[in-house]
Amino acid sequence: MDQYEIRAIVDAVVARYQAGAGAAPGALCVPGEILLEVSARHVHLTQAAVETLFGKGAGMQPKRPLSQPGQYLCEQRVKLVTQKGSFDNVAVLGPERGEVQCELSLSDCRALGISAPVNLSGDLTGAGDVVIVGPAGVLDAKGCAIAAKAHIHLPPYEAAARGLENDRHVGVRIKSVRPIVLEDVVIRVGDNFAPAMHIDFDEANACGYEDGTKIEIVGHCR
């Protein structure tokens, strides 16, 4: 039995105790609900892209932390442009990445006239092309635009407690004013992850998302 399995057992016992006594917000609940969060359109940039868009020697300027440890919203904003349309004031998320990536909803992609695959973040297979405009320069970002596939972040000890592993595909019930079930949601397990499910605004509008909406894993797809 390794440290993650031991941690999972301890956390499961604590969670059951807390559930009976009134668990604090954010307390682990196995096999209970997970917080749902919505990702608006945004970009991830390399250091070279940051300097192209914001000037030589520029760095990302954190504005506020996001729910996933180490991730943050930047003060800087960019414009996305295609032959068909554009979006102003697009969020930049840090820290820097190894590749430029634009995460859009499928509605965004149609508005921009681009064909983008529904991929997990980081998978740019078949990704669409956009031009990214910053105050100091323009970046012709080919093969960078995707519609992010719905996914759930879990730390290893909670994934183990739920009987899940990285890249497992599951069904999820969204407990909202318009409850829906999403299939083929991908589990992502990482040491620096906090429990949360991420969807885009198309999916959020479909379920009537509100702050504090929770989800429950209801089955394994594969």
For residues 99 and 83, give the distance between their C-alpha atoms in angstroms, rounded to a whole number: 23
Six-digit token string for 191: 């040491």
pLDDT at 96: 97
Domains of the chain: 3-38+150-220 (2.40.40), 42-148 (no CATH)
pLDDT at 31: 57
3-state class (DSSP) for residue 150: coil
Contact call for residues 130 and 145 (beta carbons, < 8 A): yes
pLDDT at 222: 64
pLDDT in tens, the chain (222 residues): 444 444 444 444 444 334 333 333 333 444 579 999 999 999 999 999 999 999 999 999 999 999 999 999 999 999 999 999 999 999 999 999 999 999 999 999 999 999 999 999 999 999 999 999 999 999 999 999 999 999 999 999 999 999 999 999 999 999 999 999 999 999 999 999 999 999 999 999 999 999 999 999 997 766
For residues 141 and 135, give the distance between their C-alpha atoms in angstroms, rounded to a whole number: 16
Residue from 169, 125, 170 nearest 145 by CA: 125
3-state class (DSSP) for residue 14: helix
Contact call for residues 105 and 84 (beta carbons, < 8 A): no
